[in-house]
Structure 1
Amino acid sequence: MDTQTLCLGVLNRGAASGYEIKKSFEEGPLAHIHEASFGAIYPALSRLAADGLVEYCELPQDKRPDKKVYSITSAGRRALEKALHHPPAADKFRSDFCFILFFAHLLPAEELARLIDARIHWYDETLARMEECEELGEHPAGERFVHGLGLAVYRAARNYLCDHRDDLLRDAAVPADTAAE
């Protein structure tokens, strides 16, 4: 999904600054779905404004540049709806954690255990935050559906780590005294 469409999607939920759009992808409702950097968001917003798909107002701030708050236009909403009709690209799973585990045979058991335990803890904390948001009755059906799918995926990943942690430690990890050689 291109950054312009991602920005239109966030703005379809309500007016936002570039910073607030970025936060939607870091800790907001889209945090587990997509990424968007400031280096991509601001040029996308400029193009969207030039094309009449978003508009903005500038709000003065003390000792800082004016803050631009963007909102989607009717043309922007139509462009978003049109983009949503295109088939999605295949999902890509990128994970530094999985890359490290792929080479588990090169790491000492203690380090692997610490890494896996930390990830299980991360899943526990993330799931707890997500479960606090389960009062989504007033949100659109798609948001509720994706939230439920996210919970299911994270629970499955957490459970897999718990169920298979000791197998990996037993089968792949090298003894601490040979790991650095």
Structure 2
Amino acid sequence: MTENKAFKKAIRAAAEANGTSYTRTRRFMLAKESGTEPDITQLVEQAKAQLRLQVQQEYDHGRVAALKRIPDLPWHHLEEIATRHSGDVEAWIRFHRKNAEFFLVQQAEEAANPDQPQTLANARTFDFVWKLAEDLGEFAAPINFDHISYRRSDRWVRGYCDAIRGLLDDILQLQDLPTGPDTI
């Protein structure tokens, strides 16, 4: 298709006015002229579909990470989610993150004042918090400015927490769990 000088001049003027390249403006104007301009509704639906897929992938990645981490977490800490935190995994993580923060501050104070009585707390008590922080980043990390100072997406964290909550719901509802003094 040969373009006349007036059309080329219009393309240049539109490109300058919009701050776009000549080629891009030409493609747009030709598409508009021929009726092949993309339908905005179709573009919106394509964008939504792509975002839904990305959100689902984030959620699934969080679930997979949690299921891989579960074997490293002590049962008595996991059981706290149901008994002390009413199934709220996020509250359980925040609770233990705050306890680990307190412990780290206490350790620093004791190191600065060796003449003061030392606490009986053990750093190994919080090993599982570091494992959570490796997965969840600063959502679970008791300190920042280190290798775990990153933020996971909310969907990733939700997938992680939902996987733990779902697994605990399944396990705690089992009727054949051993109970009582005869099971020791």
Q: Which TM class, normalised by the smaller chain length?
A: under 0.3
Higher-helix-fraction structure: 2
Compare relative contact order (CA 8 Å, sep 6+) and give the higher one, 1 or 2.
Answer: 2
When Rg is computed on C-alpha atoms for both structures, the one with the higher figure is 2
Higher-strand-fraction structure: 1
What is the TM-score of this pair, normalised by structure 1?
A: 0.25
